[in-house]
Amino acid sequence: MQIPPHIRLKWQSVVDLLNSDARHYQLLFLSTFFLTGMLSLHWNLLPYQALITFCTALSTQLILIKILKLPLSSLKSSVISSFSLCLLFRSETWWIIIIAAFLSIASKGIFRVKGKHFFNPVNFGICATILLTHQGWISPGQWGSAGYWWFLIGMLGFIVITSAHRMETAFAFLATYALLFGYRILVFQEWPADFFYHQFTNGALLLFTFFMITDPASTPSHKKARIVWAMAVGALAYYLQAYLWVTASPIWALFFLSPLTPAIDYFFKAEKFNWKQTSTSVATI
Amino acid sequence: MKNYRKITSAIFVMALTLVSISAYSFCGFYVSQQSKPIFNKTSQVILVRDGNRNVITMSSDFKGDVKDFAMVVPVPVVLQKSDIKVVNRQMFDDFDAYSAPRLVEYYDPSPCNSIREEVMDKVQASMSYSKDEEIFDQDKKNAKYKVTVEAKYTVGEYDILILSAKESGGLKHWLTDNGYKIPEGAEEVLQPYIQSNMKFFVVKVNIEEQKANGTEILRPLQIAFNSPKFMLPIRLGMANGKGSQDLIVYTLTKNGRVETTNYRTVKMPTDREVPEFVQQYFGKFYVDLYKKNLAKEGSDNVFMEYGWDISGQMQVKCDPCAGNPPMLNGLFEAGVNWISPTSWGGYNGSVYFTRLHVTYNREDFPQDLVFQETPDRSNFQCRYIINHPAQQYGECPEWSNYRDRKKASRRKELKELSALTGWNTERYWEYPSKFMGYSAPLPPDEETGYITPKEGKTNITASPEIDQTTTGSIEEDISNSRINQTAFINTRTPEHKKPIDWGLGFGMIAIVTLASLARMQKKG
């Protein structure tokens, strides 16, 4: 069958668009997760929460673009951030949503050392808003476990397709976190295996592992240092959850260890990540 | 800069559309009170949590020989005598009646005049309890078992031991030798509890004390302790492959709604318009709705049935009220110690009431329930609405119009009923057009496709909820129980995982395929 030329042309332009930036794949994934959450998992988002988040995040980004003279394409990052906020952050008050979205994007402009921001924007936005206002929360239970394998397939597919660079960070974190918990749950406490399995079949953990801690823009630039740093995040997340019963501990662990990034960068010199250099590096939230 | 302007104005337009964010409110109307249980074999627990302080109240409607009663609950600390209380059962009935799913009733205004008659309604509330049993034998050679009796109290009609153990084998033998029987399959969690440094709160009935008290019913037990763990141990009560157990958890917290962090908390469907005749079978209606929802959402979820801000200063503590909202005394008794009485008989202080319903079994619930308190103070209730048709007094031109509209809306109600409960609504074919004197056929049990315990006897093993042990099983004839008392125990929904996988699956596969094709094209 011959494909009509005008369709072929369109297909070509879709392909070119997708390939021009790894963040485009990212957007596809996050929007699928978001739709699943809304339509199938019945998340109780505030009415217009998504719209409020997008408006605030994009406006803040526009201001940053003006001030810091960033390229207009950096808006894509804030669209991704907005999706992640909708996926991870809950609040019952609309102005809390505004604060979270604003802090997320603004943190990129505020916490900068030598032109590099060291907090993951969404991570900072969520944690700072919860600490400051006590009005928001993270709902790790909201994913259930039904769609887990599809999420995992999606994530792995994403990694393979984009031949993502920063996966060692994700695996260093996940291995540390899972080994520590595996030892505690299976070896020390002797729970049945499905207890352990249940702990790790969680959409929020996947999202964190593959899209948040792999953020090339805000994590340490030196590869080996970054791996050690990711292991530290895993260990801290384990400690917070196992001993202090902190909900969504990986997100908090990353928040507390992010300020180490500039120090690590100072001692372990490496070239700073640049979106323009590569379209195959993993995009992050 | 041209692009910059374009994008800025686009965002401005988006923001404009946000201007109309409207608030939700329930309409208020009176509801008469009726405390008939909907679920009859459900255990109930009240959790009060403030900072690290936990108060857990467990109720049981044990009806056998009291010397067969026994209960084992893992607790994080050694409890002092002052931490253990017996409380009034009434509290559970009150909480249940207050938070039960409700049916509200409206009367259509006559199309012939414009006077609005918004009237009243009816409710069936619910409650129910757990079961536990065992023989207690006080003699012990504890050293042999490596079991330490940390403390020993008599509280009300109960003899209580706090045990700690070194290894599960010893504990298991100790329990068996002292007449407890751990449900088959539940012993796999003894070692994990021991290793997690949990103590075991072991209860039997002190016959003398009970006689002295003159009480036939066993009163609920309440324990208070400090621990960062906000959880409810359910694993010990689970037997392998023995069906599901039903549990209702009421939580009272300072800041807001409570949800589970290791399972999905799903709100029950609410504010649905259902046919008039549902009023006659409301209990059965809700039980079938719950089962259908369980099958639809997946049986590994926790369901939220009620959530309301009942802080002292709130004027409206329920709307409509299915039962009286909790009063100062009830809250005190449940363990809410941060409120203070006011001169007018109310209380000062912030309290949020949550009701969660969970039907658990070994397969779907590998972990104990772990909770978190969210700052969400919005109100939620399970509310179903019936609309009575207007009375016809003489003809008017609007009447036939009204009739048509009403017929259409009644057909919609039937569809809703079928969607909610899975009932076959063909038998109600007369309903849309027969406004007056319609008598609805009984909703048959088989239609839902779920197992109902109509066939005769239900085997109740291990008590629901908080891990208890049983000596054998109690057989209870429930064939004579009311139609709305469909027991959940030992029933399993046939389809139990949600079809969510498919939508997401197609999405994922589509993206991955598209992306791989795109990549290949690029390389090629």
Q: Is B491 helix (H, G, I), strand (E, B) or coil?
A: coil
Burial class (CB in 10 A: 0-12, 13-18, 19+), A229: buried
Token couple for A183 = 């030892």
Position A213 in a domain: yes
pLDDT of residue B62: 66
Report the b/e string of A176-197 with b at 16+ CB within 10 A: bbbebbbebbeeebbbbeebbe
Mean of per-residue pLDDT scores for chain B: 75
Higher pLDDT, B488 or A163: A163
Q: Is the pLDDT of residue B487 over 70?
A: no
pLDDT of residue B243: 72
Residue B524 touches partner A, C-beta closer than 8 Å: no
pLDDT of residue B498: 47
Q: Is the pLDDT of residue A255 over 50?
A: yes
Position A281 in a domain: no
Position A272 in a domain: no
pLDDT of residue B461: 29
Token couple for A158 = 């994403």
Average pLDDT of the residues in B115-133: 32
Convert the pLDDT of each residue in A40-79 to its tens digit.
788 878 778 899 999 999 999 999 999 888 888 888 889 9
Token couple for A148 = 């887990």
Higher pLDDT, B361 or B9: B361
Please name the residue that has the structure tokens 């039997």. Answer: B204
Convert the pLDDT of each residue in B10-33 to its tens digit.
766 666 555 433 333 333 342 333
Q: How many domains does chain A have?
A: 1
Gap between the Cα atoms of A220 and A227, Å rounded: 9
For residue B508, the chain A residues in CB contact (below 8 A) are 32, 150-151, 153-154, 157
Q: How many helices (H) and strands (E) does chain A have?
A: 13, 4
Question: CA nearest A49 in B: which residue?
Answer: B18
Residue from the list A144, A158, A162 with its beta carbon closest to the beta carbon of B298: A144
Does the pTM surpass 0.90? The reply is no
Residue from the list B189, B230, B374 with its beta carbon closest to the beta carbon of A137: B374
Gap between the Cα atoms of B263 and B257, Å rounded: 15
Residue from the list A28, A142, A247 with its beta carbon closest to the beta carbon of B511: A28
Chain B closest-CA separation from residue A110 CA (Å) = 22
Q: Of A258, A139, A93, A1, which Cα lies nearest the Cα of B378?
A: A93
pLDDT of residue B331: 93
Please name the residue that has the structure tokens 């969660």. Answer: B356
E strands within chain A?
89-91, 112-113, 116-117, 136-138
Taking CB atoms and an 8 Å limit, are A146 and B14 in contact across chains?
no
Average pLDDT of the residues in B108-134: 43
ipTM comes to: 0.87
Taking CB atoms and an 8 Å limit, are A189 and B192 in contact across chains?
yes
Convert the pLDDT of each residue in B362-406 to its tens digit.
888 989 999 999 999 999 999 999 888 887 777 788 888 888 999
Domains of chain B by residue range: 30-498
Mean of per-residue pLDDT scores for chain A: 84
Q: Is the pLDDT of residue A127 over 80?
A: yes
Chain A closest-CA separation from residue B371 CA (Å) = 9
Q: Is the pLDDT of residue B134 over 60?
A: no
Q: Is the pLDDT of residue B476 over 80?
A: no
Domain that holds residue A214: 22-267
E strands within A158-250?
none
Long-range contacts of A215-218 (CB under 8 A, 24+ apart): A215/A120, A215/A166, A215/A284, A215/A285, A216/A165, A216/A166, A216/A273, A216/A281, A216/A282, A216/A284, A217/A116, A217/A117, A217/A273, A217/A275, A217/A284, A218/A116, A218/A117, A218/A118, A218/A119, A218/A120, A218/A121, A218/A258, A218/A261
Position A285 in a domain: no
Gap between the Cα atoms of B171 and B161, Å rounded: 13
Q: Is A154 helix (H, G, I), strand (E, B) or coil?
A: helix
Chain B, residues 225-264, CB within 8 A of chain A, namely: 228-230, 255-256, 259-264
Residue B379 touches partner A, C-beta closer than 8 Å: no
Residue from the list A134, A191, A245 with its beta carbon closest to the beta carbon of B229: A245
pLDDT of residue B273: 93
CB B38 within 8 A of CB B286: yes
Residue A3 touches partner B, C-beta closer than 8 Å: no
Q: Of A254, A29, A251, which Cα lies nearest the Cα of A136?
A: A251
**Cβ neighbours of residue B254 closer than 8 Å, sequence gap 6 or more:** B50, B338, B349, B350, B351, B352, B373
Convert the pLDDT of each residue in B181-224 to its tens digit.
666 767 778 888 998 889 988 888 888 887 887 766 788 899 99
For residue A135, the chain B residues in CB contact (below 8 A) are 375
Q: Is B162 helix (H, G, I), strand (E, B) or coil?
A: strand
Q: Is the pLDDT of residue A3 over 90?
A: no
CB B175 within 8 A of CB B462: no
Position A186 in a domain: yes
Taking CB atoms and an 8 Å limit, are B515 and A94 in contact across chains?
no
pLDDT of residue B13: 67
Higher pLDDT, A95 or B177: A95
Q: Is the pLDDT of residue B514 over 70?
A: yes
Residue B86 touches partner A, C-beta closer than 8 Å: no
